[in-house]
Protein backbone atom coordinates (compact mmCIF):
# COMPACT_ATOMS: atom_id res chain seq x y z
CA UNK A 1 0.00 0.00 0.00
CA UNK A 2 1.40 3.39 -1.10
CA UNK A 3 0.27 6.44 0.87
CA UNK A 4 0.53 10.11 -0.08
CA UNK A 5 3.56 11.88 -1.47
CA UNK A 6 4.32 15.26 -2.97
CA UNK A 7 1.52 16.31 -5.37
CA UNK A 8 -0.38 13.11 -4.50
CA UNK A 9 -0.92 14.00 -0.86
CA UNK A 10 -4.18 12.10 -0.19
CA UNK A 11 -3.85 9.34 -2.79
CA UNK A 12 -3.79 5.76 -1.47
CA UNK A 13 -3.21 2.78 -3.76
CA UNK A 14 -2.51 -0.92 -3.45
CA UNK A 15 -0.02 -2.39 -5.91
CA UNK A 16 -0.49 -6.07 -6.78
CA UNK A 17 3.00 -7.36 -7.57
CA UNK A 18 1.68 -10.44 -9.37
CA UNK A 19 -0.72 -8.64 -11.68
CA UNK A 20 1.34 -5.45 -11.79
CA UNK A 21 -1.85 -3.49 -11.29
CA UNK A 22 -3.04 -0.71 -9.00
CA UNK A 23 -6.23 -0.31 -6.99
CA UNK A 24 -7.18 3.10 -5.61
CA UNK A 25 -8.63 3.19 -2.09
CA UNK A 26 -10.39 5.92 -0.10
CA UNK A 27 -8.22 9.00 0.31
CA UNK A 28 -6.59 9.87 3.62
CA UNK A 29 -8.21 12.61 5.71
CA UNK A 30 -5.11 14.79 5.59
CA UNK A 31 -2.42 15.52 3.03
CA UNK A 32 0.36 13.01 3.58
CA UNK A 33 3.44 14.54 2.00
CA UNK A 34 6.47 13.55 4.08
CA UNK A 35 4.41 11.34 6.40
CA UNK A 36 5.36 7.85 7.55
CA UNK A 37 3.34 4.63 7.77
CA UNK A 38 3.34 1.19 9.41
CA UNK A 39 1.09 -1.88 9.55
CA UNK A 40 0.09 -3.33 12.95
CA UNK A 41 -2.46 -6.10 13.50
CA UNK A 42 -4.08 -5.64 10.09
CA UNK A 43 -4.38 -1.88 10.47
CA UNK A 44 -2.33 0.74 8.60
CA UNK A 45 -1.32 3.87 10.52
CA UNK A 46 0.05 6.98 8.83
CA UNK A 47 1.49 9.83 10.88
CA UNK A 48 2.66 13.38 10.36
CA UNK A 49 3.55 15.14 7.14
CA UNK A 50 4.06 18.79 6.36
CA UNK A 51 2.56 20.81 9.21
CA UNK A 52 0.82 17.86 10.88
CA UNK A 53 1.02 15.81 14.03
CA UNK A 54 -2.27 14.09 13.17
CA UNK A 55 -2.40 10.31 12.84
CA UNK A 56 -5.00 8.26 10.99
CA UNK A 57 -5.78 4.60 10.53
CA UNK A 58 -7.29 2.23 7.96
CA UNK A 59 -8.71 -1.12 9.05
CA UNK A 60 -7.60 -3.64 6.41
CA UNK A 61 -10.52 -5.88 7.32
CA UNK A 62 -12.59 -3.13 5.68
CA UNK A 63 -10.12 -2.11 3.00
CA UNK A 64 -12.76 -0.13 1.10
CA UNK A 65 -13.70 1.75 4.26
CA UNK A 66 -12.74 5.22 5.43
CA UNK A 67 -9.62 6.39 7.22
CA UNK A 68 -10.27 7.61 10.75
CA UNK A 69 -8.34 9.72 13.24
CA UNK A 70 -6.55 8.28 16.25
CA UNK A 71 -4.49 10.06 18.92
CA UNK A 72 -2.11 12.71 17.57
CA UNK A 73 1.64 12.59 18.13
CA UNK A 74 3.14 14.84 20.76
CA UNK A 75 5.04 16.82 18.08
CA UNK A 76 4.54 17.83 14.47
CA UNK A 77 6.83 15.75 12.27
CA UNK A 78 7.69 16.04 8.58
CA UNK A 79 10.33 13.71 7.13
CA UNK A 80 10.23 11.46 10.19
CA UNK A 81 10.78 7.70 10.00
CA UNK A 82 8.80 4.87 11.54
CA UNK A 83 9.00 1.18 12.42
CA UNK A 84 7.07 -1.33 14.52
CA UNK A 85 8.52 -2.20 17.92
CA UNK A 86 6.69 -4.72 20.11
CA UNK A 87 3.39 -4.08 18.27
CA UNK A 88 3.70 -0.33 18.73
CA UNK A 89 4.32 2.35 16.12
CA UNK A 90 7.63 4.09 16.70
CA UNK A 91 8.15 7.48 15.02
CA UNK A 92 11.59 9.09 15.23
CA UNK A 93 12.99 12.47 14.32
CA UNK A 94 11.78 14.66 11.48
CA UNK A 95 11.25 18.41 11.35
CA UNK A 96 8.65 20.28 13.37
CA UNK A 97 6.40 23.13 12.27
CA UNK A 98 9.07 25.70 13.14
CA UNK A 99 11.75 24.15 10.95
CA UNK A 100 13.57 22.56 13.89
CA UNK A 101 15.22 19.19 13.36
CA UNK A 102 14.17 16.62 15.96
CA UNK A 103 15.93 13.86 17.84
CA UNK A 104 12.85 12.92 19.86
CA UNK A 105 11.16 9.52 19.52
CA UNK A 106 7.55 8.53 20.27
CA UNK A 107 5.78 5.18 20.68
CA UNK A 108 2.10 4.70 19.88
CA UNK A 109 0.19 2.04 21.81
CA UNK A 110 -2.69 1.07 19.55
CA UNK A 111 -4.61 -0.63 22.38
CA UNK A 112 -4.85 2.39 24.69
CA UNK A 113 -4.52 5.02 21.91
CA UNK A 114 -1.67 6.91 23.61
CA UNK A 115 1.70 8.29 22.41
CA UNK A 116 4.63 8.11 24.85
CA UNK A 117 8.10 9.58 24.43
CA UNK A 118 11.10 7.30 24.84
CA UNK A 119 14.82 8.18 24.84
CA UNK A 120 15.85 10.63 22.14
CA UNK A 121 18.31 9.67 19.43
CA UNK A 122 21.88 10.86 19.83
CA UNK A 123 21.57 12.86 16.60
CA UNK A 124 18.80 15.06 15.20
CA UNK A 125 17.59 13.45 11.98
CA UNK A 126 15.20 14.31 9.16
CA UNK A 127 14.62 12.31 5.96
CA UNK A 128 16.37 9.32 7.50
CA UNK A 129 15.43 5.64 7.86
CA UNK A 130 14.27 3.59 10.82
CA UNK A 131 13.90 -0.20 10.93
CA UNK A 132 13.16 -2.77 13.61
CA UNK A 133 14.95 -6.10 13.97
CA UNK A 134 14.88 -8.63 16.82
CA UNK A 135 13.34 -6.18 19.27
CA UNK A 136 15.72 -3.31 18.53
CA UNK A 137 15.50 -0.13 16.48
CA UNK A 138 18.12 0.99 13.96
CA UNK A 139 18.21 4.49 12.49
CA UNK A 140 20.61 5.76 9.84
CA UNK A 141 21.23 8.61 7.42
CA UNK A 142 19.21 11.78 6.97
CA UNK A 143 20.17 15.37 7.72
CA UNK A 144 20.62 17.14 11.06
CA UNK A 145 20.48 20.77 9.93
CA UNK A 146 17.78 23.02 8.51
CA UNK A 147 17.98 23.44 4.73
CA UNK A 148 19.54 19.96 4.76
CA UNK A 149 23.13 21.21 4.54
CA UNK A 150 24.62 18.32 6.50
CA UNK A 151 23.91 14.84 5.14
CA UNK A 152 24.57 11.94 7.52
CA UNK A 153 26.10 8.50 7.19
CA UNK A 154 25.86 7.76 10.92
CA UNK A 155 23.85 4.90 12.41
CA UNK A 156 22.57 4.22 15.92
CA UNK A 157 20.46 1.57 17.61
CA UNK A 158 17.99 1.47 20.50
CA UNK A 159 17.52 -1.47 22.85
CA UNK A 160 14.33 -1.00 24.93
CA UNK A 161 15.85 -3.12 27.70
CA UNK A 162 18.65 -0.56 28.12
CA UNK A 163 16.51 2.46 27.28
CA UNK A 164 19.16 4.33 25.32
CA UNK A 165 20.64 4.75 21.83
CA UNK A 166 24.20 3.79 20.95
CA UNK A 167 26.34 4.52 17.90
CA UNK A 168 27.13 1.85 15.33
CA UNK A 169 29.42 1.78 12.32
CA UNK A 170 28.47 4.48 9.80
CA UNK A 171 27.39 3.77 6.24
CA UNK A 172 29.86 4.01 3.38
CA UNK A 173 27.99 7.01 1.94
CA UNK A 174 26.09 9.96 3.38
CA UNK A 175 22.41 9.53 2.52
CA UNK A 176 19.53 11.98 2.94
CA UNK A 177 16.11 10.98 1.68
CA UNK A 178 17.08 7.32 1.55
CA UNK A 179 14.84 4.33 2.08
CA UNK A 180 15.68 1.43 4.39
CA UNK A 181 14.44 -2.13 4.94
CA UNK A 182 15.38 -5.36 6.68
CA UNK A 183 15.94 -8.07 4.06
CA UNK A 184 17.45 -11.53 4.59
CA UNK A 185 18.40 -10.58 8.17
CA UNK A 186 20.43 -7.58 7.02
CA UNK A 187 19.65 -3.86 6.89
CA UNK A 188 19.60 -2.15 3.50
CA UNK A 189 20.17 1.57 2.89
CA UNK A 190 18.91 2.52 -0.56
CA UNK A 191 19.48 5.66 -2.61
CA UNK A 192 19.31 9.16 -1.22
CA UNK A 193 19.91 12.64 -2.57
CA UNK A 194 21.86 12.32 -5.85
CA UNK A 195 22.47 8.60 -5.31
CA UNK A 196 21.55 5.38 -7.10
CA UNK A 197 23.77 3.26 -4.86
CA UNK A 198 22.70 0.84 -2.13
CA UNK A 199 24.48 -0.90 0.73
CA UNK A 200 23.67 -3.46 3.39
CA UNK A 201 24.58 -3.77 7.06
CA UNK A 202 25.45 -7.15 8.57
CA UNK A 203 24.11 -6.99 12.12
CA UNK A 204 26.40 -9.78 13.33
CA UNK A 205 29.68 -8.46 11.93
CA UNK A 206 28.78 -4.73 12.11
CA UNK A 207 29.96 -4.12 8.55
CA UNK A 208 28.49 -2.23 5.57
CA UNK A 209 28.90 -3.71 2.08
CA UNK A 210 27.92 -2.13 -1.23
CA UNK A 211 25.39 -4.02 -3.35
CA UNK A 212 24.09 -3.57 -6.89
CA UNK A 213 23.12 -0.04 -7.90
CA UNK A 214 19.62 1.10 -8.72
CA UNK A 215 18.69 1.93 -12.30
CA UNK A 216 17.83 5.50 -11.25
CA UNK A 217 18.81 7.97 -8.57
CA UNK A 218 16.12 7.89 -5.89
CA UNK A 219 15.75 10.69 -3.36
CA UNK A 220 12.60 10.56 -1.23
CA UNK A 221 11.60 7.09 -2.39
CA UNK A 222 10.00 4.47 -0.15
CA UNK A 223 10.67 0.73 0.06
CA UNK A 224 9.30 -2.53 1.41
CA UNK A 225 9.95 -6.27 1.12
CA UNK A 226 7.41 -8.55 -0.59
CA UNK A 227 7.84 -12.18 -1.67
CA UNK A 228 11.60 -12.25 -1.27
CA UNK A 229 12.39 -8.99 -3.08
CA UNK A 230 12.90 -5.34 -2.13
CA UNK A 231 10.57 -2.96 -3.95
CA UNK A 232 11.58 0.70 -4.21
CA UNK A 233 8.86 3.12 -5.22
CA UNK A 234 9.11 6.53 -6.85
CA UNK A 235 11.43 9.21 -5.57
CA UNK A 236 13.11 12.12 -7.28
CA UNK A 237 15.89 12.08 -9.88
CA UNK A 238 15.48 15.54 -11.38
CA UNK A 239 11.73 15.06 -11.51
CA UNK A 240 9.21 13.01 -9.56
CA UNK A 241 9.46 9.37 -10.62
CA UNK A 242 6.72 6.94 -11.64
CA UNK A 243 8.92 3.87 -11.67
CA UNK A 244 9.12 0.93 -9.29
CA UNK A 245 12.14 -1.34 -9.25
CA UNK A 246 12.84 -4.61 -7.45
CA UNK A 247 16.04 -6.06 -5.99
CA UNK A 248 16.79 -9.78 -6.00
CA UNK A 249 19.71 -10.71 -3.73
CA UNK A 250 20.28 -14.02 -5.54
CA UNK A 251 21.53 -12.10 -8.60
CA UNK A 252 22.42 -8.81 -6.85
CA UNK A 253 20.47 -6.79 -9.41
CA UNK A 254 17.72 -4.19 -9.54
CA UNK A 255 15.09 -4.60 -12.27
CA UNK A 256 12.52 -2.03 -13.37
CA UNK A 257 9.20 -3.52 -12.32
CA UNK A 258 6.58 -1.14 -13.70
CA UNK A 259 5.48 2.48 -13.82
CA UNK A 260 2.88 3.91 -11.48
CA UNK A 261 -0.04 5.88 -12.86
CA UNK A 262 1.10 8.95 -10.88
CA UNK A 263 4.64 10.08 -9.94
CA UNK A 264 5.37 9.88 -6.21
CA UNK A 265 7.99 11.52 -4.07
CA UNK A 266 8.14 11.57 -0.27
CA UNK A 267 5.37 8.96 -0.06
CA UNK A 268 5.29 6.03 2.38
CA UNK A 269 4.62 2.33 1.83
CA UNK A 270 3.70 -0.76 3.82
CA UNK A 271 3.70 -4.38 2.70
CA UNK A 272 0.32 -6.04 3.05
The percent of residues above 70 in pLDDT, for the chain, comes to 100
Alpha-carbon distance 132 to 219, whole Å? 22
Which whole number is the average pLDDT over 66-94?
A: 98
216-228 pLDDT, tens digit each: 999 999 999 999 9
At residue 169, the pLDDT reads 98
**pLDDT at residue 168 tops 90:** yes
Q: Which of the four pLDDT bands, split at 50, 70 and 90, describes residue 146? A: confident
Domains of the chain: 2-269 (2.120.10.80)
Which whole number is the average pLDDT over 101-126?
A: 98
pTM > 0.85: yes
**pLDDT at residue 133 tops 90:** yes
At residue 149, the pLDDT reads 76
What are the CA-CA distances from residue 56 to residues 14, 30, 197, 224 (Å)?
17, 8, 33, 20
Closest CA to 25 of 48, 45, 42, 3: 3
CB < 8 Å & 24+ apart, contacts of 73-76: 73/47, 73/48, 73/106, 73/108, 73/115, 74/104, 74/106, 74/115, 74/117, 75/102, 75/104, 75/106, 76/48, 76/51, 76/52
Amino acid sequence: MIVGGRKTEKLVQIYDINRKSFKTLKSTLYERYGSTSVKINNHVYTAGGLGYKFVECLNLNQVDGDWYKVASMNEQRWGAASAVLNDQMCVAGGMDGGGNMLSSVELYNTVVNIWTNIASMQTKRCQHSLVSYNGRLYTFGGSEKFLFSNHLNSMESYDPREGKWKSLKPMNEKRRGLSGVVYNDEIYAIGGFGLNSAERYNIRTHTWTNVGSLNHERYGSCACVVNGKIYVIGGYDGDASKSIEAYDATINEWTIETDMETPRWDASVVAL
